[in-house]
Amino acid sequence: LETLEDLENALHGGALHIKGIGHRRKEMLAAALAERLGRVRTRRAHQPYPLPPVSMLLEVDHMYREKAAAGALRKIAPKRFNPKGEAWLPVLHARHDNWHFTAFFSNTRLAHELAKTRDWVVIYFQAEGQPEGRCTVVTETRGLMIGKRVVRGRENEQQLKETV
């Protein structure tokens, strides 16, 4: 093991066997690594930066999933949960109006555990001169929007638009 990513992969895959480190301690290590390695830049809540419309995010999600399924996107080798170092994660870069987007399938521990690595799409967005933001688009599994693609955290906006 040479990197924190290697340690995380060993913990996740059950390949870490060290005397004195039991199941409970492994879970604590995995949680600490997930927090440290999964940390993203977050915007400050008190600064009102513009967000792209939900409809635009869903367009980017649709474009990404369509091109990924067709094998039309460049693939990268993520550092996390990729012990063989294979380039398997398709990445989309797109522009809409004054927004720049980068989209890829979620490569988190939870996405792997729930077998959602081909469903959950992470989209980074940035308007000209503004800080970067992030959202996740998923297929809803319950409620009024079941079976539909939704932007996590903005479901109410989507429901309002669909009922109007």
Pairing of strands 89-96, 99-105: antiparallel
pLDDT the model gives residue 19: 78
What's the chain's length in residues?
Answer: 164
Gap between the Cα atoms of 78 and 105, Å rounded: 11
Own/partner long-range contacts of 133-138 (Cβ < 8 Å, ≥24 apart) = 133/43, 133/49, 133/51, 134/40, 135/57, 136/106, 137/57, 137/58, 137/61
Q: Which helix (H) or strand (E) holds 21?
A: none
- The mean pLDDT of 5-20, rounded to a whole number, is 71
Q: Which amino acid is at 126?
A: Q
- In a shared domain, residues 10 and 91: no
- The half-sphere exposure of 154 on its side-chain side, counting CA atoms within 13 A, is 20
pTM of the complete model: 0.71
Residue 44 lies in a domain: no
State how many domains the chain has.
2
Q: Which of 146, 134, 159 is nearest to 60 (CA)?
A: 134
Q: Which domain holds residue 142?
A: 54-163
Q: What is the pLDDT of residue 45?
A: 46
Residues 65 and 29 in one domain: no
72, 23: one domain:
no
79 and 31 inside one domain: no
Segment 125-142 mean pLDDT: 92
Q: Are residues 30 and 77 in the same domain?
A: no
Q: Are residues 28 and 60 in the same domain?
A: no
Q: Which pLDDT does position 153 carry in this prediction?
A: 86
Q: Which one is predicted more confidently, 55 or 44?
A: 55
